[in-house]
Amino acid sequence: MSHLKHLSLHDNYLVEINDILPKQSSSLLTFAIDSNLLSSLKSLTFRYQQKLYHLSLTNNHIKFLSKNIFANLTYLNRIELFNNEISIIDDFTFQQLRSARNLDLHNNLLRNVTNYTFIGLFELEELNLSHNKITFIYTMAFDTLKKIRTLNISFNPLKILYKNLFQQGLPLSSLYLDNCEIQQIENGTFEAN
């Protein structure tokens, strides 16, 4: 199936995908494996899918994302990981996703966002972190997102917004912080540098 461009495996009972994907360089552009029973993804799972443009792994039971999971996916534009159980994202997990414009991680179990979580997402325009368990975001977590326009952090128990969180010259046009249990916003939080 060397000409296969789109593969959809919605609503099945798959627990892993390593043996499904072609083992040589493929022409696959879209891969959707939503609503299955995936709980983990092995390192280098997508290494032969270099042309992949859209990846959807929603409505599974994925618990963590390891550093090399997205290796070689330099053309990946849209990543959908919502409605999983992701609580940990290794630092530098997204570092090779230089073309990604949209990352959706809403409705997971993330607790914090480090300074290195989103390293490498230089073209990212939309990031959805809503409906997680995020209590703390490191002040330089979004520094490398130089093209970010929409950031949704709603429905996370943040409590405090620290001063330097949004001050790194981010071109945000929409910032959603609804229902975050915010009790304190430090002076200058929304001022540009």
pLDDT tens per residue across span 2-28:
788 999 999 999 999 877 777 776 789
Give me the mean pLDDT over the 70-78 stretch.
93
Give residue for tokens 């990981």. Answer: 81
Distance CA 189, CA 192 (A): 9
Q: Evaluate if residue 1 carries a pLDDT over 70.
A: no
Q: What is the pLDDT of residue 162?
A: 87
Give the amino acid at 138. Y
Q: Which two tokens stand for residue 121?
A: 């997402």
Q: Distances in Å between the alpha carbon of 1 and those of 4, 96, 169?
A: 6, 27, 46
The model carries a pTM of 0.94
Q: What is the pLDDT of residue 70?
A: 92
Q: Evaluate if residue 193 carries a pLDDT over 60.
A: no
Q: Distances in Å between the alpha carbon of 170 and those of 6, 150, 151?
A: 34, 10, 10
Q: Distances in Å between the alpha carbon of 169 and those of 39, 145, 148?
A: 37, 9, 10
The 3-class SS string of 57-126 reads: CCCCCCCEECCCCCCCCCCCCEEECCCCCCCEECCCCCCCCCCCCEEECCCCCCCEECCCCCCCCCCCCE
Give the SS3 label for residue 7: strand
| Confidence band for 158, pLDDT divided at 50, 70 and 90 | very high
